[in-house]
């Protein structure tokens, strides 16, 4: 388990709203931000990763030492915590594993509810243009940024503790999430100065996979929320944090649907409250990234909100189209679920229930978690329609071999998953 030191936490001057009082060093706008007014001559640590050409399986290769990227993230995150740059002390939040077959995790996080930045855009449009007048990551303080994350020029891992920021090349930055959910909660912001809206493309998704692979820590997962699926900032970013227990979604059984020409296996989640697809394998990391990002682009282009979980050091990716915000708008979500004020984004869908009320935390149960997540899922009919669109999009670029699997086949269900069913929730299962 990770050792977490609890320290007094205060809101830093750098998090005050623009126009608010802030005592900052002279120069620029006075906020030490990442915009042109303050970025000149600024320097940040640079982690240069080695581009991996092969998707390495769990049992391949020798046991690796503790990854430097892993220690870098944790060390820098602890430093920002000591400096009081978070909106609240997440290490003081109560957390428990809910009894049951799946082991849903409940956290009481009242600080996030009260202090998290509000959403500033429409929730019915997955693709919306970037608006520089609204909050974006160029407005954060430079002290919130941990390091730059770039591919190495010579193919070897390198670290530069004080590297210039090349604004023209628009680096990928890793910054703290000032409203954290868990220990080590960070943001990966690809090509920050290009000011890309919250939408996945092939290049940005590959960067996220490289980060997962480079950390080489199964407790470190990356997540992505599209607009309409509870992203709160329309500036391209992934989230990541450490949780030293399995996510329930990682334990759900799967059934293989197809395998692409490049070796990416696509499966369907079974016996889980949210219907979704699972991507694994591929001849290279880029093959896996391209297949998943093509599926994401298809959803974006068809205005279908979705969430993504990058698991198992980048080897396993969950793609989860959802419709909770749409149901909310239509008045189709039950009052008792709305009263929880839980917005089911990638972490909740994966089984880490971030609860905002003590009552909900005290009464948390597997049945309650299942009931909420079942409202997130597409219907079986709609899910199959969306799958058809996704496979068509992937086929257009990769021409996968369709290999339908049937329940009677010996390898139809992943042998690494358990088949437990939650009592009273059969209507939520993904059955064939």
**Dihedrals phi, psi of 193, to nearest 5 degrees:** -80, -5
Helix and strand totals (H; E) in the chain: 12, 15
Cα separation, 428 vs 412, whole angstroms: 20
Nearest Cα neighbor of 101 from 413, 351, 340 is 351
Which of 185, 237, 408, 418 is flagged as catalytic? Answer: 237
- Residues contacting 149, CB < 8 A, separation 6+: 47, 49, 171, 172, 173, 174, 188, 207, 211
- Per 3-state DSSP, the chain is made up of helix, strand and coil in percentages (nearest 5) of 30, 20, 50
Joined together, the tokens standing for residue 184 give: 């080590």
The secondary structure of 20-33 as a DSSP string is S-----SSTTSS-B
Paired sense of beta strands 277-281 and 316-321, if any: antiparallel
408 is catalytic: no
* Helix (H) or strand (E) run with residue 380 in it: helix 380-398
At residue 209's C-alpha, the angle toward residues 207 and 210, to 5°, is 65
| Beta bridge partners of residue 267, listed in sequence order | 256, 278
28: left (phi over 0), alpha (psi -120 to 50) or beta: left
Closest CA to 255 of 271, 272, 267: 267
Q: d(Cα 410, Cα 384) in Å, to the nearest integer?
A: 23
Q: What residues are labeled active site?
A: 237
């Amino acid at each position: 388990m990770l050792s977490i030191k609890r320290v007094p936490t205060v809101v830093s001057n750098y998090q005050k709203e623009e126009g608010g009082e802030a005592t900052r060093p002279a120069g620029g706008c006075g906020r030490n931000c990442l915009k042109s007014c303050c970025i000149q001559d600024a320097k940040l640590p640079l982690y240069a990763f080695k581009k991996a050409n092969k998707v390495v399986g769990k049992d391949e290769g020798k046991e690796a030492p503790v990854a430097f990227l892993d220690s870098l993230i944790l060390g820098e995150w602890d430093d920002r915590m000591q400096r009081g740059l978070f909106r609240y002390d997440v290490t003081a939040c109560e957390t428990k594993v809910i009894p049951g077959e799946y082991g849903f995790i409940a956290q009481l996080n009242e600080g996030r509810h009260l202090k998290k930045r509000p959403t500033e855009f429409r929730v019915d449009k997955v693709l919306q243009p970037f608006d520089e007048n609204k909050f974006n990551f160029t407005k954060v303080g430079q002290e919130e940024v941990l390091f730059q994350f770039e591919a190495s020029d010579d193919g070897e891992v390198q670290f530069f503790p004080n590297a210039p920021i090349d604004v023209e090349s628009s680096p990928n930055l890793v910054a703290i999430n000032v409203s954290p959910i868990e220990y080590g909660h960070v943001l990966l912001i690809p090509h920050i100065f290009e000011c890309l809206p919250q939408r996945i493309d092939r290049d940005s998704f590959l960067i996220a996979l490289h980060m997962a692979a480079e950390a080489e820590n199964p407790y470190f997962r990356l997540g992505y929320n599209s607009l309409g699926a509870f992203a709160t900032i329309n500036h391209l970013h992934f989230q990541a944090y450490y949780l030293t227990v399995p996510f329930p979604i990682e334990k759900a059984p799967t059934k293989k649907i197809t395998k692409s020409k490049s070796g990416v296996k696509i499966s369907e989640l079974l016996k889980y409250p949210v219907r979704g697809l699972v991507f694994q394998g591929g001849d290279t990391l880029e093959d896996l990234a391209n297949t998943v990002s093509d599926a994401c682009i298809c959803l974006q282009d068809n205005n279908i909100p979705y969430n993504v979980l990058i698991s198992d050091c980048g080897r396993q990716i969950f793609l989860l189209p959802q419709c909770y915000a749409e149901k909310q708008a239509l008045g189709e979500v039950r009052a008792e679920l709305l009263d929880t004020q839980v917005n089911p984004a990638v972490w909740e869908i994966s089984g880490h229930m971030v609860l905002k009320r003590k009552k909900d935390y005290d009464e948390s149960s597997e049945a309650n978690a299942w009931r909420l997540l079942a409202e997130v899922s597409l219907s079986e009919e709609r899910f199959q329609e969306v799958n058809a669109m996704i496979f068509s999009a992937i086929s257009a670029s990769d021409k996968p071999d369709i290999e339908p699997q049937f329940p009677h086949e010996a390898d139809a269900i992943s042998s690494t998953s358990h088949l437990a069913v939650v009592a009273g929730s059969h209507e939520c299962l993904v059955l064939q």
